[in-house]
A and B are shown apart, each in its own frame.
Chain A
């Protein structure tokens, strides 16, 4: 009797916790549905989700003695039923009331989950809000439900489509999971110790076989438990739309939040750690970025702002970009604040690039909020966000076009997650390499390889392919075997280039749980973290891309987003800033070269360079290339630094002594008096600096016989922006540029500015450049002036001129 009673009570407890868990699960989905439904009240599907939620809560309340919850959900259910049948139409007041009900249900259920009694209070306010303007409902809602007569659970509403069957799941406390994780690690270590004993003693084969079975089971256990820790980013994303909606309402703004990439899986811990930074960035974007609807309309934007969160996983990094189309960031105001806060000196300002100025937003004590709002501007800001991201071994930076919005790029190591890896040995060290990079493994002693040296780089000929080959020992500055006695990993780098990395030995395939390391170690850009092996020893996980960059195997990817420098508040005319490289030539002159033309930097042995002013050449990667800038008598030192310039079809080398800096320059170029290597002068930090004329260099040095493109594009070269910006871009896309003023009668493409008269030329295609960013409805042939990608795409999609 007693036994059965306690059994029954226990079962009730289980039921209650199941109810609480189920409600919480549904809440997340409902939050999203609510926001979507509010945006589009005709969205029947979302309304159904909300109805089902309330219906389920109401039905469940019947089992438990929860009169308050039962009453509230009952009224909400009736209201929603009326909405579904069209008896009532959703207005803002009603939607707010429904949202408030869902919140209240959330509060109550959370309290139950904490084992508390339901909070005291009345829901009359919400019930009244739902019933206001309601055609009097059938009684029951007004009369308090007596606690001792809980309503019977209703049958499933036949109108509600039944829920899809979900996979069975249970919930576990995270601490328990962590304990299980560390216990399994210990079990593995003990297993390995046992394995040594098993090897050392001649054991009964039956015992050894049993041990092997145990060993395999432990391996499987460990894999499964590792999987338990993985979580889809959706878990974080589902909560955001509601937050954004509430905040936008509070601020009187309109905004649409778009999210993609929720299917990316990350370690649970990382997801928890990036939650706050992302929420903070969103709040900032809403508070300071997105303008009030009327201000947006005034500046020619749609009244509702856009915030996009995009997530991408590449190798073992996860990139999250949060983009808004608000008013952007006022770099000059940041500078002012930084000056008054003593973060920078007056003398620093002239040397700061636009990116540097924007970067000030991450400094402690800077807040651009003119007044402290309840949302942001309380001095705790982006500096904390940056610190958190850095501690995860990630990076964060920001780009912004004044008036056009801001974009925050976060790159995180997905390191806490399990990375399928190869372990390799060099000297006494062991390292891990993400398996995703390794295309193939070959022993250097194999007959199919032939090595050759050019300049200071080793090439390996492998199945008809020639690959650059580096020793990991060199890259890490540790002793290791000579290349000829190594194992080679053929590694596929970002961008698809293959290269070979020589290690003493490739040891094993392992799944490694990589943990980030201290910043002082991460800063070297050689490692993504470290992982514990089964025997308790540590391996460092290599940052393949970082190493390839340092070894000059790939060129630094250049962010070519244009930035604007605003002169001052009166003169808000945007001025284009062009990314450029400041270098010292072999003769020691300061010169600038546009970043667009630079493909990469290479170092070669001096003896691979043939000097001279006319026919200088350099041997690089097994090719002989024409070399410009080599009008000197001798190279100082053993190595020469070569800047590789490309125009999309041919490459030339330019001899320099070093790269000084990457800068941005304006387009107010003072043309040089005569055609030649120097295109003209620009002012850089108050100094007139010569800009290399890559165009002329290609014409002069690119190998004769290189087929010139037959595709033509007509531009209005009378316009300065077209000359300085558009022309190199169009040429880079493989077109020969014709000047509209010369009156050509035929071309493949013509590019005109919106509002200017149609070109007189008979072009197969006309691309129109608009000054405003068209609202996502850009046709193929109308492109925003600063949308480089769209423009290149439009150029690539050209239609053949029918002969």
Chain B
């Protein structure tokens, strides 16, 4: 008998003659206190994100590239990691070409091993899309893909995320249910709520522990 069989054997013996506890999942408790309605949903998301040092900006699907350029230039950043294979990546590249911006774009187009040093030490900012947002907790839902890999939202000190207002839901239960998460999850699904932080030294909050020091969420009101 191996360890698995021995452990399971012990557990089974302990359960002999018992019946499993019924599933009386209380959906109402996870949704009712966390409803916002169309007027306040985005306000709630922004308030929650800003309370944890996230920055949010209302914009539109036509204007967001200009907002990204402004945010980068305000920080003296001249380089952005972006996925050219996504629609938003292409839109942003088009915007730069049109405006003749000097901003350099960097693509995550090789396995991380091929450019780890550059990613870790010479990539100041990144832009990614999101699957949506959750108003109750002020969370972005990230669903990394081969086009927008996991480390894009983690390693660069400044992370800009695009969020369609229409993809924001009131609470986690609603989001998970609507997107049928139980039917299949990607390699690494994520909720991100603000920039990285810690209160490990004398309960004093400090941002930028290991992940992004700054998180800017561009909320596209017309999308």
A and B associate: no
Q: Which residues of A contact B (CB under 8 A)?
A: none
Q: Which residues of B contact A (CB under 8 A)?
A: none
